[in-house]
Amino acid sequence: MRKISAGLFISLDGVVEAPDQWHFPYFNDEMGVAVDGQLGAADTLLIGRVTYDSFAGAWPERETAGDEDALFAKKLGDMRKIVVSRQPLEFTWRNSELLQGDLVEAVTALKNEPGDGAIGMSGSVSVVRQLLAAGLIDELHLLVHPIAVRKGMRLFDEGDAPIPLDLLSSATFTTGVLYLVYGPGQAREGGYEEARAQLPAES
């Protein structure tokens, strides 16, 4: 089964909206390696319409310009890009297609396609939320920035059921950014009595 890896820039208070307004001062070579490792390693890109519009409006021009980010831009352009949208779209970026049918069913089928190439996601918060709730995301890559943005959409909205996650890896960048990778976890049980047993004994 193919794996889905979702990557998000996120503030200390959980905001994921408009990272272009607060993210760039923290971007360095460490983060570049992390982003390329998560997204550049995929052969398929699964994104929402808003993210697609943003990417398609920027990356083809960057590829043509031939600057430092042209290689990464070409890598994105060469990927198969599957866009989640309730409305028909006219695609201007090569190798783009519309996800057909119910989101969970279609993504489940996508994961079951032959091959072992990763499916990468970037941004696309509403899609990430739905796939997390459905248990379809294998790795959630969070680049936690040391800033409280204090306004904007947060990654997790209110819902009926918690989503337990296991920490798979962590790293601290020189900018203070925390790179945390989570996978699906098991819900834990216990209350104050169990926690009290772990307190240090009085000397």
Domain ranges of the chain: 4-157+165-187
Strand partners, 11: 145
Query: Where does 4-157+165-187 sit in CATH, by number?
Result: 3.40.430.10
Mark out the alpha helices in the chain (DSSP H runs): 29-39, 49-56, 59-65, 70-78, 103-111, 125-133, 192-196
SS3 of the chain: helix, strand, coil, percent, to 5: 30, 25, 45
**Confidence class for position 158, pLDDT limits 50, 70, 90:** confident
CA atoms within 13 A of residue 67's CA, in its CB half-sphere: 7
Read off the pTM. 0.93
Asked whether the beta carbons of 121 and 52 are under 8 A apart, the reply is no
Asked whether the beta carbons of 146 and 177 are under 8 A apart, the reply is yes
Give the mean pLDDT of the chain: 94
For 61-118, how does the pLDDT look when each residue is reduced to its tens digit (9 = 90+)?
Answer: 999 999 999 999 999 999 999 999 988 888 999 999 999 999 999 999 999 999 889 9
How far apart CA 97 and CA 94 sit, in angstroms, is 9
Residue 123 pLDDT exceeds 80: yes
As a whole number, mean pLDDT of residues 150-172 equals: 94
